[in-house]
Amino acid sequence: MRLLLAMLLAGSLVAPEDSVFIQDATPLIREAWQPLARGLSISPASTPTAGNEVRFLHHAPDFRESLMQDFASAGRQIEIECFLFGTDSTGKKVADVMAQKAAEGVEVRYVHDFLGNLFGRSSNDPFFTGIISGMDKKGILKRDLSPIYNARRLIYPFYSNHRKIYIIDKEIAYAGGMNLNTHSMVAWDDSQVRLKGPSAACMHEIFKLHWNEAARLKPNEPSKLAVRGPAPSTASGAIVQTIGDGSDAPFHITQDALVWVLEHASKYVWMETPYFTPTRPLLNAMKDAAARGVDVRVLMCNASDMGIVDPVSYYYAGVCAKAGIKVMMRTGLFNHSKTFLSDDYLGCVSSANIDKLSLKRLSEILAIVYDEAAALRLKEQFLAGFDDSAEYTPQDADSRTAGQKVTETLLLPFDFLM
C-alpha cells in the first residue's frame, strides 16, 4: 500500500501542470471481465474510465445530425482522424463547417490517410485536388499519416489508417465505422458510438499519437493524461475503455480481445461485420465457443460494396454454419457496422472489420463499454438486424454453384488482403 501511494505521489510530482487526471475504473467492472480490461490497458489512454455518457448511432442521418451539431458547438478544438474524407457533396459540407470553425478561432486538426483517400474519391474533382489540398489555406491543420514514402509501408505494405475518430473540445468523442462521406453520412447503416466524459480525454491521447507520428519535422506534443488512483465505488455513468489497434500495438488487440470474449462468455457472443475473413485464432475460438454451448452469431451482408470479398466471406460463412455458428445474412440496406456484444454486459463499437486486413494490418479504434444498460441498447440493434436477415445454413453452403465454389477456391489464397 505504501509503495502504491509513493508511486502515485511521484507521478503527481512529475506530471505537467496542465495534465488531465483520470481514475482507473477497472475495479468497478464485473469481476469476470476485469482480466480483459487489464490486458487491454496498454497505456493511460486505454484505461477504463467511469462516468461516461454513451449513445449508439446506427443510421447515417442520425450520425450526420449529431456530429454536425457537436462540430458547430465546438469552442476550442476539433480533431478528426478518418479513413475516407469524401470529395462528394457531403464531405464538402463537413469541410465547410471545419473551415468556418477555424475562422472562428477553433483549432481544427485532421489526420489524413493518403492511401485510403487516394482510392476513396467519389466525385469528378480533379485528382489530388478539392477538399484535402485546400485545407491548410483555410486554417485547418492537416498532417499526412501514411504517405507512400513512409518507411512503415516497407514493413507493412498494406498498412493504412482505418480509424474513424472525431473529438470535440476533448469532452465529446466518436468512434466506430463511419467516415466523412455520403455513404456513411447519408446512405448506409453503420455504427458509431458517441462518448461524453473522461473517455473523450482518452480518445484525444490516442489521436495525438498519430498526430505526433505524422509530424515528421514538427515538434511532438507530450502526453498529458495521467492515471491517479482508482475510481470511487459510487462512480456513475458507463465504464468505457478506448484502445488504438495497429502495427504499433504490442499485439493484435481486436483479434485477441474477441478471442478472449469467446473463451470466457457464458451465454452469447454476437458479432457484426460487412466483410468476413476471420483469422485462424479467431475462427477456432468461435468454433470452440459454439461447441461448448455459447450462442455465437455473425451478422453480415448478403452482398457487400466490395464484390471481390464476397466469395471468400461466403466460404467462411459456410465453415461457421457447419460448426454450429449462426450466420445471418442481412438482405436490406448495406450495413457497414463493426460491433460485438456479449452476455448483456460488454459491448464494443469499432472501426475494425472481422477480416484479416483489419485484424492484423490496419490501424483501428475500439470503444468497449462495460455496462448492462448500454449493452441492452446495443442488443436491440442486433435483434433488429437479425429480423432483417436470413440464416445461412450448411445446406445453403453445399448448394453453392460450381462456378461460385471455383471462385471461392481461386480467391481464398489472397484472403490476407481482404
pLDDT tens across 158-208, in order?
678 999 999 999 999 999 999 999 999 999 999 999 999 999 999 999 999
Residue 196 placed within a domain: yes
Q: What is the tens place of the pLDDT at every residue in 298-337?
A: 999 999 988 899 999 999 999 999 999 999 999 888 999 9
Co-location of 397 and 333 in the same domain: yes
> Cα separation of 166 and 82, whole Å?
8
- How many residues are given for the chain? 418
Co-location of 326 and 408 in the same domain: yes
CATH number at residue 401: 3.30.870.10
Co-location of 67 and 140 in the same domain: yes
Last residue of a domain, one of 243, 267, 282: 243
Co-location of 324 and 391 in the same domain: yes
pTM: 0.91
> Cα separation of 299 and 164, whole Å?
21
Co-location of 274 and 331 in the same domain: yes
**Residues 192/367, Cβ–Cβ less than 8 Å:** no
Co-location of 336 and 196 in the same domain: no
Which residue in 245, 257, 235 sits closest to 53, CA to CA? 235
Domain that holds residue 365: 253-417
Co-location of 144 and 117 in the same domain: yes
Band (pLDDT 50/70/90 cuts) for residue 234 is confident
> Cα separation of 208 and 225, whole Å?
11
Which residue in 205, 159, 190 sits closest to 349, CA to CA? 190
Residue 10 placed within a domain: no
How many CB atoms sit inside 10 A of residue 55's CB? 14
DSSP state of 46: G
Residues paired with 242 in a beta bridge: 367
Band (pLDDT 50/70/90 cuts) for residue 15 is low
In this structure, the strands spanning 268-272 and 295-301 are parallel
Residue 192 placed within a domain: yes
Residue 9 placed within a domain: no
Strand segments, DSSP code E, in 316-387 are 326-330, 339-342, 346-350, 354-355, 364-370
The number of folded domains in the chain is: 2
Residue 346 placed within a domain: yes
Residue 52 placed within a domain: yes
